Every structure is written in C-alpha cells, then in structure tokens.
Chain A
Amino acid sequence: MEDKLLIWKLKNGSKDALCRVYEKYEGKMLASAISILNDVSDAEDAVHDAFLSFAQSIDKLKLHGNLKGYLTTCVINRARDKIRARQRFRLGPDKSNPVGITSKQPSDIVIHDEELRRLSNAMVELPYEQREAIVTHLQGGMTFRAIAKLQGVSVHTIWSRYRYGLNKLRSLLNSKVVK
C-alpha cells in the first residue's frame, strides 16, 4: 500500500516520494540489472537510465501491477538494449576491439558473500531468456502471467524458461566449475 501512496504523491509533485522510491528499490533494480548484464558499470547505467525515464513519465504512469515489478521491467528493458548493443558492436566492422563483459564485474563491488558472487557468475551462464524469466519473477515479484503478457509469449513458455533456468542454476552452483 505504501507504493500506491508513493505514486499518488509523485503525481502530486513530491520529490521526497521520488527519493523514497529510489532508496527503496535501488538495490533490487541493481541486482536485476547485474543478474542480466553481469557488469556493474553497465548495470548502473541501466538503472540510471531506467529510473530517469520513470521520473520523467510519472504523469503518464498507469500502474497495473506492482511498482517493484514495473521498475524491474524498466531495468530489464534497458539491460536488454545494452545486450543488443554489445552484440551489434561485436558483429560490426571493427572486430579488433570487441567489447565483451569487461570493465567492472560484480566482484568489484564489495560483496562479502561468496555465495552471491558465485550466483552472479552462474547467472551469466544461463541463456538470456531464462535469466530474464528468473530475474523478473524472483527479483521483480511479477507473476508468470504478467511476464508472459509483457513479453508476448505464452505462460507455459515463461514457466519453462524459469524452470529450466533454475535447474541449471542449481547445477551450476552445486558444481565446482563456477568460481
């Protein structure tokens, strides 16, 4: 219910409400972006762009689901754009300077929890669609039906991606391959 009030306040011009939304969901948004991109700099950029876009379009905002899911979707859309941009760059004429997942890795951030570092590295091993299904559902709190509607695929497809992804993730985390 707090989110509903925050949206109300945002629509009435409250900057404090915007700060509150950011403080409340920054961690989740960043986690989603890192899970998708496995690159802290790119993830921070995705969160920056997504939140900026959110701040600009509050007057037009019509929230049908929850705010966390909405923000996660915004971040994932930005992250997807970044992945596409990486791919385009790799296929471009100048192949001598490929840009991969470089710069800072999540391990650059102070993550004391070894488990989280392993999780982050395991996530990147998953096919993109599976990663997205897992992140949107578990970190964004969106239902499979909502994710399916958003992505224009069947609920069954989303569920399969989620299930296969989760099983693979479990295998990866239980193996010693993922450092």
Chain B
Amino acid sequence: MKSVKNVKELIKRVRYKSNDEMHMRTLHDALDAYEKSRKVEWESAHPNIWSTIMKSHIARYSTAAVVLVAVSFILLNPFGALNRDGVALADVAEKLEKLKSVVMRGPRIYTSLEDPNEVSVVDMTKCFSVQYGYAEKAYEDGELIYYWSANFPKKQVTIVIPYWQRYLRFPLTDDQFEILERLSITTSLSFFIESGFIEGCKSLGPDRIDGVEVEGFEIEELTLIESIPKVLINVKSYSGRMWVDAEGLLPVKTEQEAVLDKCLFTGFEEMHLHETNRFEGYDTDLDEEIFNPSIPDGYIRIDFGALSVP
C-alpha cells in the first residue's frame, strides 16, 4: 500500500533517457541554434565596433585610452578564481558580485626585453566603484606620474600627466563605453570564472598571507582580449595568480605577469610586465572626485594631432 509520501518520492526519482539518435539530434540542433543566435546577437550588438571607431580620427586616440582601461581591467583586475574542492569559486563570485567598491595597490614593473637594464617601477593605486567608475594613479619614486579615470555616469575619460603638465579629457562614445562596461567588474569576473574552468587552471593550494589563511589559483590564458587588435595590445604570454581569503572568500593578493610584443600599449617595444596588487579596501566610501578629477591650473590640453597611431 503506497502512501502519498511514497508516490511523491516515486515521481521525484523518475528519469528517462532519450534514445541515442534523439539525444544526439536534440543536442546537435541546440548547439547549432545556439551558435547562430550568438552570431546574430554579436553582430547586431557590435556592428564592427573597431571599424567604426577607427574611422574617426579623434576616436582613434580615445580608443587607445580605452584600451589602456581595458588592459588595466584585464591584466590587473583580479576578480574571480576557482577551486572545486576548497575555496569555492562560486562563493567567491557571489561575494564579488555584491561589492560596491574595491581599492587595490601595488607595484607594476616594466622591463624592456631588448635591454633588461631598462626597468621602470611604478606604484599603482586603483579604485573601482560600481557607481562612479574606474580610477588609477601611478607614482614613480614617490612622484605622481599620471592619473586617469573613466567616469561611468558621465561617460568621460580624464587623463592627467603632471610630468608634462598636460591633460586629456574626452567623452566616451556609446561603443567605447560598451567596451568599458564589458571589461568592467562583472565581465572580468565572468572571464575569470570562465578561465577558472579551463584545463590549464591550477590550484596553488593553501598558503598564509599576513596571518590570513588563503588559497591560491593560477591561470595561464587571456582569451578575453583576443578580439582587440594586436597593434593596440599584443600579449604573447600571460599568467595570473590570485590568493583568496579562505574564510572571507575575497581576494587578498594578485600577481600578474605578461610578455607583451610590440604594440601601442608598450610604446612599440617588447616588454615584460609584472604586477602585484594587494586589496586594501572593500566597499569603502570613495569620493566622487576621484573619478572626476579637476584639472590643475596651467595644464594644457593635449593636442590630438600631436599623437599618432600607426
């Protein structure tokens, strides 16, 4: 005699399997439909962004700056990680998704491959705010070399170079803004999660940083920037490591290394780039001014005509 509970259990455990032919047909048709829909979606949403941008003389230069933003996010923005056994990637992802702001600091070291003695060490401070955008400051030997920001609400980029007493301020086109958004916190996160599942991802195991129990991960692929023209950024090899607080499930430290071929980003030199970031603040209140810096008196606007993109 069956009880209602027995019936419920029976219904819950019902499973059928299609015959192999139907199974393969459904899967094949679904993959085909998925691929076609992806193509249509991409083409309609991105009607050849790069060609559109490069048609405009001015936009070309602003693109270069946007690419710098992109590179900063990709190379330096350490969102996400994986581990199927210890620190769960999904849990880290969930925590990161809820963050409103992040502050990180660390040195970025450029080494010329042609002349290994040519080394430049820049101390970076990076702020990301879901509300206001992205801002970066670079110091060399304690001196402020440059700072720049991408202000999301205003869709505007500001670059200030105290060394030259020059500045650049320009609006982002919708296309450029879209690229920025795509390369911002959410997409970077998705990218790292995606990367987290690639075969090459390694667990570095447990460790301790400043007394905090952490777990490390490493990825060696940077597929997200494949669509960016190599003239702008040309990454020959890349590896990224991240250590996540085993209890708090937020990143504590990241380290990135890349070998860059000749491209705009490196001033057309082959270069090794190494960067370490320490996370100094999550969800701290960030002043809007950081993302909308004022231009000091006497600074001259950079003349676009003085720059060129080969």
Name A's B-contacting residues (CB within 8 A).
1-2, 4-5, 8-15, 18-19, 22, 26-28, 30-31, 34-35, 40, 43-44, 47-48, 51-52, 54-59, 106, 109, 111, 115-116, 119, 134-135, 138-139, 166-167, 169-170, 173-174
Give every chain A residue within 8 A of B194 (Cβ-Cβ). 8-9, 12, 14
Q: In the assembly, what is the distance between CA of A109 and CA of B18, in Å?
A: 8
CB-based contact B8/A30 at 8 Å = no
Q: A138 to chain B: which residues have CB within 8 Å?
A: 8, 11-12
> A57, B37: Cβ atoms under 8 Å?
yes
B231 at the interface (CB under 8 A from A): no
Q: Considering the complex, give the chain A residue whose CB is closest to the CB of B29.
A: A52
Interface residues, chain B, CB within 8 Å of chain A?
Answer: 1-4, 6-8, 10-12, 14-19, 22-23, 25-27, 29-31, 33-38, 41, 88-91, 93-94, 190-191, 193-194, 197
Contact B190 A26 (CB under 8 A): no
| Set of chain B residues within 8 Å of A134, measured between Cβ atoms | 11
- Contacting residues, chain B, for A27 (C-beta < 8 A): 15-17
The A interface, classified by DSSP as helix, strand, loop or mixed, is helix
CA distance A54 to B37 in the complex (A): 11
Given contacts A22-B26, A22-B27, A138-B11, contact A12 B4 (CB under 8 A): no
A111 cross-chain contacts in B, Cβ below 8 A: 16
With contacts A13-B38, A15-B34 known, is A8 near B190, CB below 8 A?
Answer: yes
Measured CB to CB, the nearest residue on chain B to A4 is: B90
B-side contacts of A54, CB under 8 Å? 30
Assuming the contacts A19-B27, A52-B30, asked whether A115 and B10 have C-beta atoms less than 8 A apart, the reply is yes
A19-B27, A26-B17 known; A139+B11 contact, CB < 8 A = yes
Which residues of the other chain, A, contact B16 by a CB distance below 8 angstroms? 27, 30-31, 34, 40, 43, 106, 109, 111
A56 to chain B, nearest CB (A): 5
